[in-house]
Structure 1
Amino acid sequence: MPTTYEQPGNVSIPDFSDPATYTEAVPRAAFAEILNRPGLHWVPTKVANKNGGYWAVSRFADINAIEKDPATFTSTGGPSFPYTNLSPDHPSVDMIMCTDPPRHNYLRRAAAKGFAPRIVRKFEPWVREVVTDAIDAIEGRSEFDYVEEFARTIPAYVIATVLGAPREDRAYLVQLLTDFFDAAQHFEDLEEGEGTADRVIPLLGQLTEYAAKMQKVKLAHPGDDMFTELSRCVERGEINQAEYLQWMFVMIAAGFETTHTTIGQSMRMYLENPEVAALTDKAVAEGQTERAVDEYLRVISPVIQMARTATRDLTFAGEQIRKDDVLVLYYIAANRDPAVFSDPDRFDPWRPETDSLAFGSGVHRCIGAHLAKLELQILWEELHARGVRLELAGEPRRGWSNYINLLTELPVRRI
């Protein structure tokens, strides 16, 4: 059971650092409570930090301010909790998510052009083919796991195509990523201050070995894909070999996980809430599917949090922040900040406030956001066009994570 800390008022604040806190549901009431309090919320924990805990940052404006100031709030200490308090020789220090400008800028340029909106629009025909293949695969089946058949399959095939990885490698990559995220969420036997970054090194090694293998393949047989493009960046001296290997890990992981979570959680919401279903159906029927997708991303917040580390002593949000303090940025709270979003807990595709933090902000805003949204948009369009109607056939099952708003099973039946 997760630990809770009794606070004044009627709401008990759970231990936000503990993955067990999120296994039954996101603690929405607790996040709403700390949003209403002045300052930041201190989470005491000996894991993955130098100063005995971290600051939970929940307000939209505070997160934006932190993400726009990498000189004060660095990513080099680790990108998310408990993948923080990194040692200087950890392989992840070459990962784009663990860099600040100016180094971050040239790493981002190496791949960003491949995800520009005008380029992503050209992906639509084959992404639609991937989606229709997934729908075809459930024909004749009355019951199935929506997470397995759609949430895992579609983003895995899409990112494999973008990267230029063979389709037959999909299951291998998904399993490696699943094992990686699982290993990063188990805190047992950690020394004081130690995070989970060291225990995932073997899995990170397997993923980068795969990237190195594909690099050789693509230099010998180039294609119109990211493995080829980034391999050429290494040849041209634009990035080094270590940066290439870590970039490809990020591409594989980020290209899969955000979309995987949103596909599963959005269908869960649709099946559990008639109002959500009606508004989604209306948006799709009116050609406004993108609005529904944006709202699902805001309400779900597939990435619960990211982290930054203070580079100096300062006062922020009324708190005395010490050098090396970890600040955990709770997108899942900020995306329901009533200072920004009217009636924030309501699903409303037509709301005027559309700029959520589902993909972060500032220099680290996810470059794959347009592709993720395209996958989600096409899936909802094709489910409606093909007349696929579902209902729950059992209890949805959440995962063990304080980082991803994870759904591992969604049993459904055709109606």
Structure 2
Amino acid sequence: MSTTAQALLPDLADPASFQDAVPFGAFDYMRSQPGFYWQDASIGVANGGFWAVTRFQDILDIEARPDLFSSVPGAAWPGTNLPADPQLNPTIDLLMHMDPPRHSSVRRVAAKAFGPRVVKNFDPWVREIVVETLDRIGTLTSFDYITEVAQVVPALVIAQIQGVPREQRQWIVDRTLDAFAAQGTGDLAQTAEAIEKTMAYYREELIPLKLREPQDDMTTVIAHAIERGDVTIGEGHSFLNLLQGAGFETTHTLIGQSMRMLLEDPEVAERTVRGIDELGPDKVVDEFLRIITPAMFMSRTASEDTVVGGQEVRKNDLLNLYFIAANRDETVFDRPDEFDPWRTETASLTFGSGTHRCIGNALAKLELRILFEEMSKRGFSLRLDGEPQRGRSVFINQIRSLPVAWA
């Protein structure tokens, strides 16, 4: 790559590069070049930066080899290059920071609760949450769609799955927002502080409550798994924290960004309505997931010198797998920048692939599908009532404010 071309590309380590929009043009250029793009970085790395992996097949190849490309040193930059020592690394028990076989045994405990067949049974109570939310905004003249809908629905859904008492749910949501805001700016100390507050709640309050008063929720399942020795205390607490963070933030982004697209682009709105009518909501939801890609990347660390995607990679090199770029790979998707629920290429990397493919993907789809269905029943029609505001994050394709009014 020429020095001139490289100088024109954004700094992928700087949240400001994602403040106004995702740099899709830069990702397109990176995909067109041989090997991977090297981004200098001063934190979270062992070798002075990270490789930006932007092609679909390269990401599949890397995620298929956890023996060569490990999650243990950290799964999302800049929370990477972490020591494999429980005393020095508070995230060591996080499912995202494990490789097989340990990853497989811990994931097995939780995965039973999130299979498509199980999640299908969530429909009635998730629908109740959506209906309650839509009834409330129906009384408002104008409002922020993010704070009144996009945050509320997934927060209440995850809290119910965990069995968090209603009066404590907003506190949990606030800590999750704190952690993602700190992570997006690279403030690892604030990120760790927000996570530890949540972990202390699970450790000191919620799990003891479920052991005294078991209920049909995920925390009860985890608490009993800890008692049986199926998972360690740290693994159980960390899974609950992961469920809250991943289940809330990515779905919150999906709900908010999909509405922004509907309000800003009449063609997207028309294709959404027609797509739901002709195809049903699932295909439409899948296309929103592809084109939005809430979690823009995940990270892997090379465990030895190797070559992948035509690129020589050194031991301890960090690779950021940009799902958001690969989901617009023109060798995989026809007209990749176009919103098209009728497309035949349906396998996206929104939820990753391989052993770390997100176990909550069916739940995220269910929430947006029900939201579309219930808004359609009511004939809800919104318009922008101000300028949408993106989040400041290198990791999540965030939208933090979407002012709307009734059309």
Q: TM-score range with shorter-chain normalisation?
A: over 0.9
Spell out the pairing of 1:371-382 with structure 2 (5 A cutoff): 371-382=363-374
Alignment partner, residue 79 of structure 1? 75
Residue 205 of structure 1, CA deviation: 1.4
Residue 200 of structure 1, CA deviation: 2.5
| Residue 228 (str. 1) matches residue 227 (str. 2) | no
Alignment partner, residue 106 of structure 1? 105
Amino acid at match of 1:340: V
1:137 aligned counterpart, secondary structure:
helix
Gaps in structure 2 of 5+ consecutive residues:
none
Alignment partner, residue 191 of structure 1? none
Alignment partner, residue 56 of structure 1? 52
| Residue 356 (str. 1) matches residue 348 (str. 2) | yes
| Residue 392 (str. 1) matches residue 350 (str. 2) | no
Alignment partner, residue 92 of structure 2? 93
Percent of pairs identical after alignment? 46
| Residue 327 (str. 1) matches residue 319 (str. 2) | yes
Alignment partner, residue 248 of structure 1? 240
Preserved CA contact (<8 Å) 2:179 2:190: no
Alignment partner, residue 298 of structure 1? 290
Residue 38 of structure 1, CA deviation: 1.2
> Residues 368-397 of structure 1: CA distance to partner in whole angstroms, max 9, x if unpaired?
000110000000111111111001011000
Rounded to whole Å, the distance in 2 between the matches of 1:285 and 1:389 is: 17
Rounded to whole Å, the distance in 2 between the matches of 1:7 and 1:350 is: 40
> Residues 32-57 of structure 1: CA distance to partner in whole angstroms, max 9, x if unpaired?
11111111000011221011111000
Residue 199 of structure 1, CA deviation: 4.4
Residue 366 of structure 1, CA deviation: 0.5
Preserved CA contact (<8 Å) 1:335 1:356: yes
Rounded to whole Å, the distance in 1 between the matches of 2:252 and 2:313 is: 35
TM-score (norm 1): 0.95
Rounded to whole Å, the distance in 1 between the matches of 2:277 and 2:4 is: 46
Rounded to whole Å, the distance in 1 between the matches of 2:278 and 2:132 is: 25
Amino acid at match of 1:336: R
| Residue 403 (str. 1) matches residue 391 (str. 2) | no
Alignment partner, residue 206 of structure 2? 214
Alignment partner, residue 190 of structure 1? none
Rounded to whole Å, the distance in 2 between the matches of 1:400 and 1:199 is: 15
> Residues 107-142 of structure 1: CA distance to partner in whole angstroms, max 9, x if unpaired?
101110000111101100111111011100012322
Preserved CA contact (<8 Å) 1:302 1:405: yes
Preserved CA contact (<8 Å) 2:182 2:188: no
Preserved CA contact (<8 Å) 2:62 2:308: no
Q: How well do the aligned residues superpose, as a CA RMSD in angstroms?
A: 1.4
Alignment partner, residue 146 of structure 2? 147
Alignment partner, residue 193 of structure 1? none
Amino acid at match of 1:77: P
Rounded to whole Å, the distance in 2 between the matches of 1:20 and 1:31 is: 16
Alignment partner, residue 69 of structure 1? 65
Preserved CA contact (<8 Å) 1:79 1:97: yes
Preserved CA contact (<8 Å) 1:390 1:414: yes
Residue 223 of structure 1, CA deviation: 0.6
Amino acid at match of 1:204: I
Preserved CA contact (<8 Å) 1:7 1:13: no
Amino acid at match of 1:177: T
Rounded to whole Å, the distance in 2 between the matches of 1:174 and 1:210 is: 13
> Residues 204-244 of structure 1: CA distance to partner in whole angstroms, max 9, x if unpaired?
21111111111100011001110000100001110011111
Gaps in structure 1 of 5+ consecutive residues:
188-195
2:137 aligned counterpart, secondary structure:
coil
